[in-house]
Amino acid sequence: MEQFVSNVKYFTECLLQKQMTNCDDVIEELFSKACGLENFPQIPDPMLEECAIQLWNWAVTKNTGSSLTNMQKAKVRHVACSLLYCCEGETPTEGRIRKQILMASKAGRTWLDCKNPPNADIFLNLAVKSLETLYSKLTSRADRSSDTTLSKEDVEKDLLRILSFQAESALSQGNNTEALAFIQRCKDMLLRLPKDTAYLSLMCYNFGVDTYNMRKFEDSTIWLSQSYNIAKMNVKYAPESQVQARILRLLATVYVEWDCQRFQEKALNAVSLANKECMSTSGLYLKIRILLRCGASDDHIRAGLSEILEVEAALDECLSTVNLLVSEDRELLAFEFLKRVCQHFEASPDLGSALVLHAELLLQRGKELLGKQKIEDIITGHYTGKQLSPQALTCLHLMLWDKACKYFEARNYSEALQWYNYSLSFFQAGQLDPNLAKLQRNRASCFLQLKQLEKAKDAVKEAERCDPDSIFTQFSVYKVAVLENNAEKAAEALKAMGLLSKAPVSREDRLLVPETAASHLLKLAAQIALENEQQEAAMKALEILCENCDDAGLLLSALRCLVRLLLSTIEQRTEGMSAGSLDVLLPYLKMALHNISHQSSLAAEQRTEYADWFRKIAWNSALYCESRPDRMRDFFVLSYQLSHLCPPDRGLLMGQKTCLLMAAAASLELCRKSLLSDQTEELTRVLEQIQTCREVWKTLKASGNFSTDPTDTLLLLYEFEACAKLNNPKVETVLESVLELQNVEAKVLETIAALAMEPPAHFPLLCRKALRVALALHRNPPQVDLSRCSKCIHSLINLSLPSGVSEAEARVLQEAWGYYEEALSIIAASPDDFPQMETLWLLTRAWNTGILLYSLARYVEAEKWCGLAMSFVRHLGSLQESYETQMSTLYAKILDRLEKARIKHGPRAMEE
């Protein structure tokens, strides 16, 4: 127990520290300790009592500064009160008991405020016991002084309050019978404490309200009846008559909502008593409501309506009664009473509200002619001294516009216009008002539907005057411009709509939702232009829509329509798909790709549908770009990117492969034509595309037989060209991969050879290697192609033979000599099929090589090469005789001079 006291003292001191800011943990510790003292064991310790007082005072101080929550306050009071009771001696003094009563009652009240009635009951019961103990002490006194009498009265007052708290606690726990028992004890005490009559009456009223809100009608009627009966126990100290009337009106309402037919008399009796207590329009209104719900006769209800007028009810209250009659299908009574109300308030400045309601009821009941007459009377009155209030005028405008809108939706535009014109009658000439602009726009729409273009233009001009910065006004301007075929005006209006679409747009006559109003207007603008065969205006509207729309579905739908319009426009032109058309189309497809990729609001089916459609458009567009390799590349890349947004299948993979191949080919074409300032980036991108294509191709090949497909060859050709132009050492590896292909064609190798030497590439060794393999393939039976063989040999000799003095190395000459020998063997095998001009070229080139060696004093080699040239003479056919005579003479001279040393000048070189 000493530990308990020590802990309490420690935590109390913590709370009392001035610098303590977060006291919640300390309060929780104290509360957990006190909760273990449920039976309050006696701990007669002055230190514990002091802690109890300190805690109580601390809570009072903190509560004044509103720094404690209700729950924290309840817990501190709980601890303080528990500690005080623990310290109670065998014979507590009156002062201690009074202190206990105060603390227990307040602790109980605080727990009630925290919606914790079980904890509240602990302390309320303690308070009652302490009160009984104190009362017993006071009663046992020998003296009968006035102080003693006053003290006993104070005890009874405290007891009444605590009993009422116990009733509240019981009721909150669903114990209605127990709560009534506590209140009955309180009622019994009112004979001695009459001044608490109002308090107890209002408490029962609050109980009645609470049970009514919980739809416990029976309990509510009991408490409300108790409240009224308690008030009647002592008229002097009862709540004022207005409060008693409110109690009775609520009692009547409860009876009505509980079972109107069953408790009709009780409800009427309650409301009649309320009106006797304090006559009010709310009571009379309730009486009418009860009569209507109970199906009373018209005469009974008329009597009640007369009472409302007799008590000088306000106009709004009378009109509410009219609406009540209408809602209960007492139309005749409603119009009768409304007529009397209009007569009664004829001189009131608010009479317009009644007149507007009259017109509205006539229209609601289908009495349109009478309604129109009433509205025309209101218009006349408005300008002859019976001006409508702003509120009534607003209601009338709304009613007129609603009527007009319904006729417009029903396509009865003349009737809609008449209702809009009624509304226009209340606007003054020259008035600037956004609502007037809206009205004029609506009128313009009617005129356009009625084919009255000039009147529509006038209405739109008025709308522009009142509200030129409204997107709806500019839309109206646009509609008129389209119908007038005024392309310039329509374009200006669309431009203005585009700027205004960036600002928030409000609702306009049920036409649009606020979030997408601008987008839908631009969509309508495009539709209107198409309906009037103005494609350029439609495309402009769709462009602006795409730039400003946040709705993914609408944006992609607009883009698709825009692309269709552009393609149809191109088809109508004689030049077809021009460069300018391609430049216009490309950004649309890029926008489509971006939005399909980044819009999570699209359903999967929608995403696939849009992606596939735009993918095909990009593909077909690429096919028109033969003269524009840059655009062909862009469109094929777009088609490939869009294909990734579609479900993969074999057909789609084939498309991806083709897109990547064609994009790479287009990029290489750009580099060949030197159309790019920096080819390195483009060629690097080509290598990336080739790698991606290989991955796609690998997946495809795993799904079937593609033995005749040239993709592997093309990929290697493109890779070789890109690496060669980048001077990438991987180029040799690529050639080896080409040579490893099954059934590689000689044509492919010839292409490789050409690419190896095409500037900026320069790989003569690789070129010769490719040509040698190509030559071997050309010589393979059964179809030996001597023409291609001759070209290969021509190229190999060109690459091998020296073109100058410094290049005439023995190794180079030896390689070239081998090519000549191969040429001779080919010619010998088919002398008549080898091209004669190629034979002549071989002869001439060999001869000139000999002459070059001769000039270098390399006589033995010179004789060898000249002799080689002579061996081709017999294969010259018709040219043999002329060349044989000439070359024999020259060759003889060379042989002669070879015998002489150091001849400075040799014979002249032959022309190739």
Using alpha carbons, list the distances in angstroms from residue 104 to 31, 56, 108, 272: 16, 11, 6, 44
Q: What mean pLDDT do residues 368-375 have?
A: 93
Of 765, 650, 762, nearest to 699 by C-alpha is: 650
Contact 652, 678 (CB under 8 A): no
- The pLDDT tens digits for 457-478 are 999 999 999 999 999 999 999 9
Looking at residue 113, its pLDDT comes to 92
Phi, psi at 367, each rounded to 5°:
-90, 70
Q: What mean pLDDT do residues 316-339 have?
A: 90
715: exposed, middle or buried (Cβ count in 10 Å: 0-12, 13-18, 19+): buried
**Quick one: tokens of 484?**
């007038």
Judged by phi (left if over 0) then psi (alpha if -120 to 50, else beta), residue 187 lies in alpha
State which H helix or E strand residue 126 sits in: helix 117-139
Mean pLDDT estimate for the chain: 87
Helix axes 298-310, 331-344, angle to 10 degrees: 20
Count Cβ neighbours within 10 Å for each residue of 730-761 and write b for 16 or more, e otherwise: ebeebbeebeeeeebebebbbbbbebbbeeeb
User: How far is 793 from 814, CA to CA, in rounded Å?
Assistant: 15
Give the model's confidence band at 902: pLDDT under 50 very low, under 70 low, under 90 confident, else very high: very low
Of 110, 116, 98, nearest to 157 by C-alpha is: 98
661: exposed, middle or buried (Cβ count in 10 Å: 0-12, 13-18, 19+): buried
Does residue 245 register a pLDDT over 60? yes
- The pLDDT tens digits for 201-212 are 999 999 999 999
Looking at residue 901, its pLDDT comes to 42
Higher local confidence (pLDDT), 724 or 576? 724
User: How far is 544 from 706, CA to CA, in rounded Å?
Assistant: 47
- The pLDDT tens digits for 624-650 are 888 899 999 999 999 999 999 999 889
Does residue 392 register a pLDDT over 50? yes
Contact 692, 660 (CB under 8 A): yes
Listed in sequence order, the residues at least 6 apart from 270 whose beta carbon sits closer than 8 Å to its beta carbon are: 248, 249, 251, 252, 255
Of 137, 136, 132, 182, nearest to 160 by C-alpha is: 182
Just give the CATH number of 431-505+522-548. Answer: 1.25.40.10
The CA-based angle 65-68-72, given to 5 degrees, is 155
**Quick one: tokens of 67?**
């720094």
Estimate to the nearest angstrom the gap between the alpha carbon of 370 and the chain centroid: 49
Tell me 239's DSSP state. P
- The pLDDT tens digits for 155-190 are 999 999 999 999 999 999 999 999 999 999 999 999
Q: Report helix, strand and coil shares of the chain as percent, to nearest 5.
A: 75, 0, 25
User: How far is 667 from 632, CA to CA, in rounded Å?
Assistant: 9
Give this prediction's pTM.
0.64
- The pLDDT tens digits for 732-767 are 999 999 999 888 889 999 999 999 998 889 999 999
User: How far is 45 from 51, CA to CA, in rounded Å?
Assistant: 10
Give the model's confidence band at 895: pLDDT under 50 very low, under 70 low, under 90 confident, else very high: confident
Quickly list H helices, 311-385.
Answer: 315-327, 331-344, 351-364, 368-382
- The pLDDT tens digits for 122-142 are 999 999 999 988 888 888 765
Of 708, 715, 705, nearest to 658 by C-alpha is: 715
Contact 185, 163 (CB under 8 A): yes
Radius of gyration of the chain (CA): 54
Looking at residue 147, its pLDDT comes to 60
Give long-range contacts, CB 8 A cutoff, 24+ apart: 604-612.
Answer: 606/553, 606/556, 607/645, 608/645, 608/646, 608/647, 610/556, 610/560, 611/642, 611/643, 611/645, 611/646, 612/642, 612/646
Listed in sequence order, the residues at least 6 apart from 110 whose beta carbon sits closer than 8 Å to its beta carbon are: 70, 73, 74, 77
Contact 770, 777 (CB under 8 A): no
Q: What mean pLDDT do residues 563-567 have?
A: 91
Quickly list H helices, 35-90.
Answer: 46-64, 70-86
Phi, psi at 294, each rounded to 5°:
-90, 0
Helix axes 650-672, 679-701, angle to 10 degrees: 160
- 3-class DSSP assignment, residue 703: coil
Using alpha carbons, list the distances in angstroms from residue 369 to 375, 400, 408: 10, 14, 18
Q: What mean pLDDT do residues 498-509 have?
A: 66
The CA-based angle 490-495-498, given to 5 degrees, is 125
- The pLDDT tens digits for 517-529 are 788 898 999 999 9
Give the model's confidence band at 417: pLDDT under 50 very low, under 70 low, under 90 confident, else very high: very high
Looking at residue 16, its pLDDT comes to 78
Looking at residue 673, its pLDDT comes to 84
- Domain coordinates in residue numbering, the chain: 349-423, 431-505+522-548
Higher local confidence (pLDDT), 357 or 32? 357
Give the model's confidence band at 908: pLDDT under 50 very low, under 70 low, under 90 confident, else very high: very low
Does residue 514 register a pLDDT over 80? no
DSSP-assigned letters across all residues of 608-672: HHHHHHHHHHHHHHHHT-TT-HHHHHHHHHHHHHHHTTS---HHHHHHHHHHHHHHHHHHHHHHH
- The pLDDT tens digits for 90-115 are 777 888 899 999 999 999 999 999 99
